[in-house]
Amino acid sequence: MLYGRYEHTVDAKNRVFVPAKYKEVLGASFKLTCNGFTNCILLYTEREWEKFEEKISALPTLEFENYIRQVYSNTVDVQIDSQGRFVIPQFLKEQVGIEKDVLFMGVGTHIEIWSKEAFQEKQKTIDMNEMKKLMIQMGF
C-alpha cells in the first residue's frame, strides 16, 4: 500500500529523487503515464502496471480507443539511477504543468506526481461537505 506525501524538486535535466519511503516498493524500474483525466503523472510498479494493463485489455476497443491510445502513447519505462533519481520525460512534464517543485503522493496502488502549484489549486476546488456526504453514504 502506497501512502504519504513528499515534496521534491526537478533539476535542469528533468531528474527527480525518488522519496526514500517509496524506493523499496518501486524497485529499480517502473512505469510513468498520464491518462488525460488527472492533472498529474501516474507512477506504477511493474506489478501494479500488469494489473492495470489487464483492465485496459478487457475494455471494448471501439468504445475506448481514445483512452487506450492516450494511456499507451503516454507511458514510459523508467529506471532509477545510482543516486536514486529518475528522469521525467519533457512531454509528460508539459502535459501536467510540472516545472520545478513536485509532490509525490501515494494513493494506494500507485503514486501521483503533481506540480506543487497544480495540486494547491486542485485542493481549493474540493468541497469537503460533499465529500463528507459521499463518505457517509458509503458507510464511513
> Tell me: the pLDDT tens digits for 80-132?
999 999 999 999 999 999 999 999 999 999 999 999 999 999 888 988 989 89
Please choose, from the candidates 7, 11, 33, the residue with its C-alpha nearest in 3D space to the C-alpha of residue 85: 11
Please choose, from the candidates 97, 95, 115, 90, the residue with its C-alpha nearest in 3D space to the C-alpha of residue 105: 115
* Strand partners of residue 108: 2
Torsion angle, CA of 12/15/109/50, rounded to 10 degrees? 120
pTM of the model as a whole: 0.90
Q: What is the pLDDT of residues 70-83, one digit of tens each?
A: 999 999 999 999 99
Question: Architecture of domain 5-137 in CATH?
Answer: 3-Layer(aba) Sandwich (3.40)
Please choose, from the candidates 123, 68, 119, 124, the residue with its C-alpha nearest in 3D space to the C-alpha of residue 96: 119
